[in-house]
Structure 1
Amino acid sequence: SWLQPYEVRTFKQYWYPIKEIGGVKAANRKIALNLEIKDKKRLKIGLNSTCLYRQAQLIIREGEKILSQQQVDISPPQPFLKEISLASEINEESLRVQLFSSSGKELITYCPPPKEKVSLPEPVKPPRPPAEIKTVEELYLTGLRLEQFHHPSLEPYPYYEEGLRRDPYDSRLNTALGLLLLKRGLYSEAETRLRRALERLTANYTSPRNGEPYYYLGVALRAQGRYEEAIQAFYRATWNQAWAAASYLSLAEIRCLQGDWRSALELLNRSLALNRLSTRTLVLKAVVLRRVGRLRAAEEIIQAVLKTDPLDFWARNELFLLEKDRVGEKKALQNWTAVEARMGNIGQNYLELAVDYGRCGLWPEAMDCLWRLINSGQKKVTTYPLLYYYLGYFLEKTGEKKRAAYYFEQARQLSPYYCFPFRLETIDVLRTALEHQPNDPRAHYYLGNLLFHLQPEEALKEWEIAAQLDESFFIVHRNLGLGYAWVKNDIAKAISSLEKALFYEKSQPRLFYELDLVYEAGGVSPQKRLNLLQAYHNIVAQRDDSLSREILLLVQLGDYDQAIKLLESHHFHVWEGGGRIHDLFVDAYLLRGQKYFSRGDFEPALRDFQRALDYPENLEVGRPYHDRRAFQIYYFIGQAYEALGKNRLAQEFYQKAVQEKQSGSEIGYYQGLALKRLGRMAEANKMFDDLIASGRGLLEKAVGLDFFAKFGEKQSETKRRAQAHYLLGLGYLGKGKRNEAKAEFEKALQLNPNHFKAKHQLLIHYQED
């Protein structure tokens, strides 16, 4: 769902450490219960609890008849499990399971619901291309959904832009696009869109029903320092209750910037009248009360906030400032030690505090937060460059330009490692620093990092300046390499930059991984790539992703023994969404097994095929519920048994290979071959026809995007088309159309010279050519 500015929602979740009981049929805060019925004559009961219950009463009834009644002791580390055998079949819908405490209080009750035939809901459908969507409203809603559910390859912009091509003044589309531009720090462009949204909404002196465009126009104007215009926009937004609380808070922040405490307090009270749960508004009210000397009233608000949210660091800092006024700085600092522990001496927590104060023009408080951290003596955080850039910025705002310049210079000299700005507010901070020191390569570098996903073209410009100012700073060359590849699609420049990064720094295994990716995209020969990785193997092996590239190349080039040696000896650590290292494991064993098979060594071939079924612990990949590649492996095992004259076992594995049809995929090709061996030719041909249809379908797609790709996945169009030709080749090969198959495999290799599976098919089926 959507969370509006400064909106507060609360909810509770209870996470059970489910232990030994299997699934869960019913649960509450006290008990989780599972009931399974086996063969209509056996009941399996499982109970977990969140606290200790002694002599609880478990009663199981069928209608009015008691099937079982017993006392049980249950606790979090001690689940209850029981299986009951019955003399006759039971009616599941008449069952009733109840658990009572020793005092007779009901803890949980479960009755299996009647089984009804319920039609499945419609599955999610990929969005159509913008030009194919009929209405402007549907374009707007499609873009909105893409915003709400991140997609690795699809952006909402084309849908909004297509809608605006048809209707340039559509208020919904202009507002949505304006908000996206705001999030990217493109305030002037956002202003243009939001003003256009308002042109239609306010036509003929109409007052808009929706205050959203006015609110975000105020945000855009404020970010540009145009406070009086922002005030007008925010006031107009207050006429819509949905946006009034946020608008009054924004107006109060501007009045604080202007030092108008009385007006700020009045505006904060208006905001709180509409949104009493906003701790941000409450803390700012306490700040204003402190500033005007009403310390007791300020402390009452802060104490109330801390009861609601003990980890509100802004409130904690305000309490410290109030104590400092009351008992003196020395004693207040003693109490601050406990707050420091909660904040973890993490620079970002202090920067967040400073930004909160800075938004309201409270420069002394903002600087006090950062100086307090710097004076703490914690070297890990006191050498964080952004602390000093922000101090320079705040001093610039107070007119202390010489002191500002000192802190900007301090920031420039500090180590850039682990410094990664992400706040939009930091854009202005770094640009202010560059006004003082245009030749600061670090400020240009940090600004590039911050802008890359927001304004990629600007980010590249900043990195290019940083590289000119400090040629030996390898990370800038690395970033430029990735930027040239992703933004410009200039693989030659990407390779040049990454090679330069590696020239200056050879101890970073990640660089080898990234350089190999762009080498692959640039068509650099696999042998040259492998030579580089093997020359620095000890460094490459320090990261799983880098080592996986070396293994991939070993498999591609047919050095299966070395690939398997690395796969078996290295402990991999799989991240969420990962698991492809196991595909390399399967490929290495299947390809080596086929090599043995081709020269008549059927026993070692069988051992390799059988090993491909395993999920070794060192790979950290668990066996999936639907192990799709197992069907491919079963085919090869069957083939090996057949070659060894063990026809019964061969037929058994061919049958296993076709248990779950995987039509239209590479696995489907091997299932088709297994069906051939089973004599089921019509089914086999259907599998091959499906492969051809799947390959053609991929080629016909204008964009070729996988709507159901996992988070973070993004594949090039060239690679997708190469895979399409590979599938076509498999389909034709299965149907015995060797010439057509060969042509498709060759097309796959032309598009992607690293498509080793297409190369493998050509080697094993067309060696005589």
Structure 2
Amino acid sequence: VSFLRNQVVTFPRNRWSVCAEIRWSISANSPAYNKENNPEKALAFFERAYSLNPDDARVLMELDQLYKKLNYPVKTRLEFLAQKQDTVIIRDDLYLENAALYNYSGLYAEALQLIDQRKFHPWEGGEGKASGQYIYALTELAKADIRAKRFTEAIDKLEQAQVYPHNLGEGKLPGAQENDLFYWLGCAYKGLGDEQHAAEYWHKATVGLSEPSAAIFYNDQQPDKIYYQGLAWRELGQPETADKIFTDLVNYGNGHKRDEVRIDYFAVSLPDLLIFDDDLNLRNAIHCEFVAGLGYLGRKAFAEAEIAFNSVFEKDAMHFGARTHLRDLLLLKEKMNLLNVVS
């Protein structure tokens, strides 16, 4: 096998030999990336495999995951999959990744439509994925409603995001962390002038663990949930509590970037498909940059937050948290500039 990997192999052109060549290319790819740490070689093998049978949904999914691993721009991947829709629809994981690309690109209504019209089935590494994209689309649409002062419509969407429809193929975990939904519900009710309901939802948004940690598994406490706790405390007139939360986020992010990360062998599923070996230390560094960015954003240290989020993008072009909160940061700066002009 090691000899064959260094040779140009020509197969007779019939159906079975094409299948053999595809599988040979894939089997050669795994050592190229996972063992030899040679992404260029891995990419060449995978693109060769895909060219032999563009209708193979598994190969397309794995090729796209390699593009993602190599930090290809989201726009490039979305345009690539847009040309392969007949194949994309074959697999849940590939279909959902396509919807996620729409979500990440700000096409929330289109992403939600894609999710709504499919019945998903559970798969290893897919826990929380379909529901996550469903919630993300509804939340971002609700935030747009709040900015446009369509507060009732925003409330409807945020309430909808708390109920998982059957087509997602998974139920809500007990104790699901919904601090962001409750925070934005408070903002929507405040927009309606309903201070009582606003305060009720902001109080709900403060509930949960407030100590940041390494979020390795899909059900771990996510740092943005802590960030929304801080925002809620600020709205409730407790800026000291909010500032402590934001400072803790900054300190954790800056203090743990170089941690050596290991995971237990017997553990719940990791949050991503693991076709290719993952660098847990790199993932931790990205996570810490994001955590620090959230803390800076909460403290309204916009320049530092922007630097942190952009640092995340250099390593992960499809980091939803950094993308979302950088967009929020820019909108907040724009709003503050307008207020300064008016005053």
TM-score, structure 2 length as denominator? 0.82
For 1:743 and 1:661, the matched residues in 2 are separated by 27
Are 1:735 and 2:299 an aligned pair? yes
| Change beyond 3 A, Cα 1:694–1:580 | farther
Q: Which amino acid aligns with 2:324?
A: H
- 1:575, CA displacement in angstroms? 3.0
Q: Which amino acid aligns with 2:79?
A: N
Q: How does 1:64-103 map to 2 (within 5 A)?
A: none
- 1:610, CA displacement in angstroms? 1.7
| Change beyond 3 A, Cα 1:679–1:530 | same
SS at match of 1:700: coil
- 1:709, CA displacement in angstroms? 5.4
- 1:589, CA displacement in angstroms? 1.3
Match of residue 610 from structure 1: 159
1:683 to 224, 241, 244: 241
- 1:675, CA displacement in angstroms? 0.8
Structure 1: stretches of 5+ with no match in the other structure: 1-443, 445-460
- 1:649, CA displacement in angstroms? 0.9
Q: Which amino acid aligns with 1:687?
A: I
For 1:723 and 1:659, the matched residues in 2 are separated by 22
- 1:528, CA displacement in angstroms? 1.5
For 2:239 and 2:308, the matched residues in 1 are separated by 23
Check whether the contact 1:695–1:724 (CA below 8 A) recurs between aligned residues.
yes
For 1:524 and 1:699, the matched residues in 2 are separated by 24
SS at match of 1:468: coil
Q: How does 1:120-199 map to 2 (within 5 A)?
A: none
- 1:761, CA displacement in angstroms? 2.1
| Change beyond 3 A, Cα 1:698–1:677 | same
Are 1:674 and 2:232 an aligned pair? yes
Check whether the contact 2:71–2:315 (CA below 8 A) recurs between aligned residues.
no
Match of residue 720 from structure 1: 284
Q: Which amino acid aligns with 2:9?
A: Q
Are 1:759 and 2:319 an aligned pair? no
Q: Which amino acid aligns with 1:532?
A: F
Check whether the contact 1:466–1:476 (CA below 8 A) recurs between aligned residues.
no
Check whether the contact 2:124–2:269 (CA below 8 A) recurs between aligned residues.
no
| Change beyond 3 A, Cα 1:489–1:593 | farther
Match of residue 660 from structure 1: 208
Q: Which amino acid aligns with 1:526?
A: V
1:288-314 deviation line (CA, Å, top 9, x unaligned)? xxxxxxxxxxxxxxxxxxxxxxxxxxx
Check whether the contact 1:669–1:730 (CA below 8 A) recurs between aligned residues.
yes
SS at match of 2:111: helix
Match of residue 494 from structure 1: 42
Match of residue 704 from structure 1: 261
- 1:484, CA displacement in angstroms? 1.9
| Change beyond 3 A, Cα 1:481–1:552 | farther
Match of residue 468 from structure 1: 9
Q: Which amino acid aligns with 2:309?
A: F
For 2:3 and 2:195, the matched residues in 1 are separated by 68
For 1:463 and 1:554, the matched residues in 2 are separated by 40
Q: Which amino acid aligns with 1:519?
A: Y
Match of residue 554 from structure 1: 102
For 1:745 and 1:622, the matched residues in 2 are separated by 31
* Equivalenced residues, count: 308
Match of residue 82 from structure 1: none
Check whether the contact 1:721–1:751 (CA below 8 A) recurs between aligned residues.
no
Match of residue 632 from structure 1: 180
- 1:659, CA displacement in angstroms? 2.4
- 1:463, CA displacement in angstroms? 5.9
Check whether the contact 1:563–1:588 (CA below 8 A) recurs between aligned residues.
yes
1:149-184 deviation line (CA, Å, top 9, x unaligned)? xxxxxxxxxxxxxxxxxxxxxxxxxxxxxxxxxxxx
Match of residue 59 from structure 2: 511
TM-score, structure 1 length as denominator? 0.38
- 1:569, CA displacement in angstroms? 1.0
For 1:497 and 1:592, the matched residues in 2 are separated by 40
For 2:32 and 2:74, the matched residues in 1 are separated by 22
| Change beyond 3 A, Cα 1:563–1:731 | same
- 1:583, CA displacement in angstroms? 1.2
1:586-621 deviation line (CA, Å, top 9, x unaligned)? 111112222232333333222222221111111121
Q: How does 1:376-387 map to 2 (within 5 A)?
A: none
- 1:762, CA displacement in angstroms? 2.1
Q: How does 1:325-474 map to 2 (within 5 A)?
A: 444=1, 461=2, 464=5, 468-470=9-11, 472=18, 473-474=21-22
Q: Which amino acid aligns with 1:585?
A: Y
Check whether the contact 1:672–1:685 (CA below 8 A) recurs between aligned residues.
yes
Match of residue 581 from structure 1: 130
Match of residue 69 from structure 2: 521
Match of residue 478 from structure 1: 26
1:199-253 deviation line (CA, Å, top 9, x unaligned)? xxxxxxxxxxxxxxxxxxxxxxxxxxxxxxxxxxxxxxxxxxxxxxxxxxxxxxx
Match of residue 345 from structure 1: none
- 1:731, CA displacement in angstroms? 0.6
Are 1:600 and 2:145 an aligned pair? no
Match of residue 219 from structure 2: none
For 1:608 and 1:492, the matched residues in 2 are separated by 44
Moved more, 487-496 or 549-558: 487-496
SS at match of 1:515: helix
Check whether the contact 1:635–1:674 (CA below 8 A) recurs between aligned residues.
yes
| Change beyond 3 A, Cα 1:463–1:543 | farther
SS at match of 1:699: coil
- 1:480, CA displacement in angstroms? 2.6
1:418-476 deviation line (CA, Å, top 9, x unaligned)? xxxxxxxxxxxxxxxxxxxxxxxxxx5xxxxxxxxxxxxxxxx2662687253841122
1:102-151 deviation line (CA, Å, top 9, x unaligned)? xxxxxxxxxxxxxxxxxxxxxxxxxxxxxxxxxxxxxxxxxxxxxxxxxx
For 2:284 and 2:59, the matched residues in 1 are separated by 25
SS at match of 2:256: helix
Check whether the contact 1:675–1:683 (CA below 8 A) recurs between aligned residues.
yes
SS at match of 2:9: helix
Check whether the contact 2:296–2:302 (CA below 8 A) recurs between aligned residues.
yes
Where relative contact order (Cα < 8 A, 6+ residues apart) is larger, the structure is: 2
For 1:611 and 1:462, the matched residues in 2 are separated by 57
For 1:598 and 1:502, the matched residues in 2 are separated by 44
Check whether the contact 1:477–1:501 (CA below 8 A) recurs between aligned residues.
yes
- 1:673, CA displacement in angstroms? 0.4
Which structure shows the higher helix fraction? 2
- 1:711, CA displacement in angstroms? 4.7
Q: Which amino acid aligns with 1:677?
A: E
| Change beyond 3 A, Cα 1:470–1:668 | same
1:235-293 deviation line (CA, Å, top 9, x unaligned)? xxxxxxxxxxxxxxxxxxxxxxxxxxxxxxxxxxxxxxxxxxxxxxxxxxxxxxxxxxx
For 2:296 and 2:156, the matched residues in 1 are separated by 30
Match of residue 408 from structure 1: none
Q: Which amino acid aligns with 1:727?
A: V
- 1:517, CA displacement in angstroms? 1.2
Q: Which amino acid aligns with 2:297?
A: L
| Change beyond 3 A, Cα 1:462–1:681 | farther
